[in-house]
Structure 1
Amino acid sequence: MSSKDTTKLLNQLRHLMKDTSLFNGKQLSAYIIPSTDSHNSEYLCPKDKRRQFISNFSGSAGTALVTENNALLWTDGRYFLQASQELDTNWCLMKDGLPETPSIGEWLCQNLPKHSNVGIDATLYQEELYQNLQTKLNSNNLSLFHTKQNLIDLIWENRPKLNYEPLLQIDSKYTGLTTKEKLLSIRNELTKKSVHSTVVTSLDEIAWLLNIRGHDIPFGAVFFSYLIIDFDSCKLFTNLNRFDDNLKNALNEKDANFEFYEYDEFYNFFENYIRHELVGKSQKILLSSSTNHFIHSLVPINLIQQDLSILAKLKCIKNNCEIESAKKIHIRDSAVLTEFLYKLDWTFKNKELIEKNVLNEHDLAAYLDEMRSQQENFFACSFETIVGYGSNGAIIHYKPKLDENNKKIEKNNFLLIDSGGHYSDMGTTDVTRTVYLGDISTSTEYQKECFTRVLKGHIQLAMRVFPSGTRPELLDSFARQALWEVGLDYRHGTGHGVGALLNVHEVPIIANRKGVEILVNENMVITDEPGYYENEKFGIRIENCNLTVKASTKYQYASNVNFLTFEPLTLVPIQRDLIIKDLLNQQELDWLNNYHEKCFKIISEELKTANKIEVLEWLKEQTLPL
């Protein structure tokens, strides 16, 4: 990771901020550049990486703010180290989440003169965030303005264009439900809420409903689109060149009644739709708080019912077909990573091979991606593979590049590997393993203790039994307790939902803060991923995907309350010789031994079928009882 000189770009942006023709005769004192697109996507198409373009910070989360004399970048603890390396001297890193760091609104109120104007592209800002910021600014005599055009786009020479690749229609034998059946559930919810329609802007929700996947956003399995759902029809806005008659007919089967429009027609159409279908008939529309502010601004406030997205709540509960697909896919995917770890271990125990070959993070990540891509029904990587050796492992979302930070991988330190895949038979994986390379006797007791305490946290969450409908933040501290009791912690969430050939990150989110109001229920795929990171030294994370299943309990609390626990989907061994056995209690030890027994029993069959006997023998050794 390295910085670039952003002086010229900031000067160009500041010049546009003074152009009164863009802002109804007013100048901007500040301009906000969020990290997302108009669909609130986590991963972005290259054409939408505006914040990265202006600041050079490449992390997935963060917001840039530019004033006449300042350039500031807010990001969270996952990216403090990365941002400090990628920002040049024009920028000030604002460590979001620390008590001493003001919010963007607080900083603006403290540093801008009264009656100053703050600009933002309202299609890139969630409604809830926009309203909070506007309230804060207005209370201090500052104004928040929509800009007519995104200012970054005006200075971005050779801005990337979108290449429209073919779409993939998923058979209902994998999805479990047809689009018509999903629409019935959505419209039942609309009826319960007494609303006429809803707008869907999240790309994974649209892909889920239509049973179609795309490649418009790297690692996302989605395609650019908007959707208006009411009781009479579904109006889809997308690139119609890719929607041939077969796709259209498939969506319209059984009278689903889809109407098709070009993607760029959405905002003008929606404005007219509001005027004729809602205002003229006094009908209400359901809008999610994650929908962008510009959409909200087009609807009279008395006609808006703001609530959680119906589709988000429906798709995070996996049906039987999706669950069976997930189990099969995780077996194939776990076999790949097991073979990769075997080859890595063998390489670092073979001195002759090490002397002849120079391994680095970038090439190792590319090799793992290539191995995964050879698997049956591989669709794409579910995120950019993380391979961090030594101090780079302490950069929580480190992505190896061919630059000066691309470390040679040597013996006697930790290597953190976080990777995953999308598979067209309806599955998405996300798994992290941390291994100590070389002679284990060179590891310190402190390193082993850190590894073991991360593992204890992983096991403690994996063993939990809890009522269906539990708030996800209530589960977070179980994974942190073993670290907390010795004064350690980590700056990221503990787990997240995983889509079915959809976004690798979805609700619910297990973290030490209150989040979106999605509760933990049966048949969700959720990760368990505590970690520990020591700047300039090493990083440790252990992550599995789990399925929430009914737990067997001694007593029955109430007839309508199920208790749940986690069933591991990921089946990859955890390095045994790094574990301080005496730090594990008997329950934790039993869980680990049972987990390893399951890994061997299931993955060995995959390896036998593929005639990978050497990998099988290695797996047998790695899964022996501790």
Structure 2
Amino acid sequence: MRTTLCLYTFNLDLEKQRGELRKACSKYGHIAQPARRVNTTMRLAAFRNLMTDETVLLTLPIQAYLITSSDEHQSIDIDGFEKRREYISGFSGSYGDAVVTLDKAALWTDGRYHLQADEQLDCNWLLFREGHRGVPSMSKWLREQLPAGSRVGLNPKIVSRYTWDALHGSLAAHGISLVALNVSLVDVIWPEEERPPRTVKEAFVYDIEYAGKNYTTKVEEVRSELRKVGADAMVVTALDEIAWMLNIRGRDVPNSPYLRSYVVLDMQKVFLYVNSSQLNGTVRSHLGIGSRIVKSDSV
């Protein structure tokens, strides 16, 4: 009896380490699927077709593609328009990264979402439960799945530089290339009528009573720090940092008062890249002559 139990536990551990321990995904016949699951078969088929389509990729074919849970600003909560990983996988948790290869699809998430992911992911997906013994990291799994010479695609706008460098180094050591793609493959297959519209709401000034300092003072303090390190300019992509520095708030991101934008700060001007329709006269007056608003269709 003890031997049987040990073998059963061992087999469960192996399935978990391979991502194969899945609810209602029997290898031996059909089992009714949980009601919350989205059938991703057609989405994955369309996605994989793009992975070998050089006219879409504008580069050579790729053998794997990574989809993170982030937007271009590394926000914790993201607009429905940005939920690419949720669309391709059906998993709606706030944290989880997905990989699609030409024959497999896998998702990694932490202990907050192990049960939810198992409920929502259909049987096309492997589920890697982070924090469990023997579960491989994404980079290790890719190294095991792909031969040397393979190419892994990724949208560089939705990962931090640190994450990019770490993944690039890990894969390169095994002869696998991390490729920056100028096109988001999920965007290509996501029908416009099924995709939530991008949230675009009017920005407003955060009053000095609450901000403590006017924005020009903050900008000069940042410039002072730039001089100390010998820099002439900086790019700001984090929305909370932009909100703090410019004393501007918005309603573009769920649960956070942020305006979707970018800032380039040099020693003379503040260049705010933003959907200019979101800036009313009060906000423009607040920014004054020390800033330049750059209309951007990408934000």
Normalised TM-score (structure 1)? 0.41
Matched residue type, 1:262: K
Matched residue type, 1:217: V
Matched residue type, 2:261: S
- 1:510-545 Cα distance to aligned partner (Å, 9 max, x none): xxxxxxxxxxxxxxxxxxxxxxxxxxxxxxxxxxxx
1:95 is aligned, of 129, 134, 144, to 129
Of structures 1 and 2, the one with the larger relative CO (CA 8 A, separation 6+) is 2
Contact 2:50–2:57 (Cα < 8 Å) also in 1:
no
Tell me the equivalent position of 1:107.
141
* Aligned: 1:170 with 2:206: yes
Q: How many angstroms does 1:103 deviate by?
A: 1.4
Tell me the equivalent position of 1:132.
166
- 1:218-268 Cα distance to aligned partner (Å, 9 max, x none): 11111110001111110000011122332112112xx6x1011012379xx
- 1:607-626 Cα distance to aligned partner (Å, 9 max, x none): xxxxxxxxxxxxxxxxxxxx
* Aligned: 1:48 with 2:48: no
Contact 1:13–1:152 (Cα < 8 Å) also in 2:
yes
Tell me the equivalent position of 1:198.
234
Tell me the equivalent position of 2:251.
215
* Aligned: 1:60 with 2:94: yes
Distance across 2 between alignment mates of 1:219 and 1:33: 23
Distance across 1 between alignment mates of 2:242 and 2:99: 31
Tell me the equivalent position of 2:63.
29
Contact 1:75–1:95 (Cα < 8 Å) also in 2:
yes
* Aligned: 1:73 with 2:107: yes
Tell me the equivalent position of 2:11.
none
Distance across 2 between alignment mates of 1:87 and 1:265: 31
Q: Sequence identity of aligned pairs in percent?
A: 36
- 1:173-229 Cα distance to aligned partner (Å, 9 max, x none): 121111011112211211221211111101111112221211111111111100011
Tell me the equivalent position of 1:141.
175
Q: How many angstroms does 1:24 deviate by?
A: 4.5
Tell me the equivalent position of 2:187.
153
- 1:99-138 Cα distance to aligned partner (Å, 9 max, x none): 4121111111111122111111111111111111111111
Which secondary structure does the structure 2 equivalent of 1:149 belong to? coil
Tell me the equivalent position of 2:283.
247
**Which moves more between the two structures, 190-199 or 15-24?**
15-24
Tell me the equivalent position of 1:607.
none
Which secondary structure does the structure 2 equivalent of 1:221 belong to? coil
Tell me the equivalent position of 1:263.
296
Distance across 2 between alignment mates of 1:128 and 1:34: 14
Count of residues paired in the alignment: 263
Tell me the equivalent position of 2:44.
10
Tell me the equivalent position of 2:219.
183
Which secondary structure does the structure 2 equivalent of 1:140 belong to? coil
Q: How many angstroms does 1:29 deviate by?
A: 0.8
Contact 1:22–1:148 (Cα < 8 Å) also in 2:
no
Structure exhibiting the larger radius of gyration computed from Cα positions:
1
Distance across 1 between alignment mates of 2:83 and 2:219: 33
Matched residue type, 1:32: L
Contact 1:237–1:265 (Cα < 8 Å) also in 2:
no
Which secondary structure does the structure 2 equivalent of 1:119 belong to? strand
* Aligned: 1:123 with 2:154: no
Matched residue type, 1:263: S
- 1:17-64 Cα distance to aligned partner (Å, 9 max, x none): 111223445211111001111111111111100000011111111100
Matched residue type, 1:234: V
Contact 1:226–1:236 (Cα < 8 Å) also in 2:
yes
Q: Structure 1 55/119 Cα, relative in aligned 2: closer, same or farther at 3 Å? A: same
- 1:351-398 Cα distance to aligned partner (Å, 9 max, x none): xxxxxxxxxxxxxxxxxxxxxxxxxxxxxxxxxxxxxxxxxxxxxxxx
Q: Structure 1 169/111 Cα, relative in aligned 2: closer, same or farther at 3 Å? A: same
Contact 2:57–2:183 (Cα < 8 Å) also in 1:
no
Tell me the equivalent position of 2:8.
none
Q: Structure 1 218/233 Cα, relative in aligned 2: closer, same or farther at 3 Å? A: same
Which secondary structure does the structure 2 equivalent of 1:66 belong to? strand
Which secondary structure does the structure 2 equivalent of 1:77 belong to? coil
Contact 1:213–1:221 (Cα < 8 Å) also in 2:
yes
Contact 1:117–1:145 (Cα < 8 Å) also in 2:
yes
Which secondary structure does the structure 2 equivalent of 1:78 belong to? coil
Q: Structure 1 65/265 Cα, relative in aligned 2: closer, same or farther at 3 Å? A: closer
Contact 1:200–1:228 (Cα < 8 Å) also in 2:
yes
Distance across 1 between alignment mates of 2:76 and 2:108: 16
Q: How many angstroms does 1:150 deviate by?
A: 0.2
Matched residue type, 2:278: R
Distance across 2 between alignment mates of 1:38 and 1:163: 15
Distance across 1 between alignment mates of 2:236 and 2:133: 36
Q: Structure 1 108/265 Cα, relative in aligned 2: closer, same or farther at 3 Å? A: closer
Contact 2:272–2:292 (Cα < 8 Å) also in 1:
yes
Matched residue type, 2:204: L
Matched residue type, 1:19: D
Matched residue type, 1:165: K
Distance across 2 between alignment mates of 1:101 and 1:207: 39
Tell me the equivalent position of 2:28.
none
1:420-431 correspondence runs (5 A): none
Distance across 2 between alignment mates of 1:111 and 1:80: 23
1:357-368 correspondence runs (5 A): none
Distance across 1 between alignment mates of 2:218 and 2:137: 40
Distance across 1 between alignment mates of 2:209 and 2:101: 54
Gaps of 5+ in 1: 267-626
Contact 2:205–2:282 (Cα < 8 Å) also in 1:
no
Which secondary structure does the structure 1 equivalent of 2:252 belong to? coil
Distance across 2 between alignment mates of 1:177 and 1:134: 41
Distance across 2 between alignment mates of 1:251 and 1:23: 40
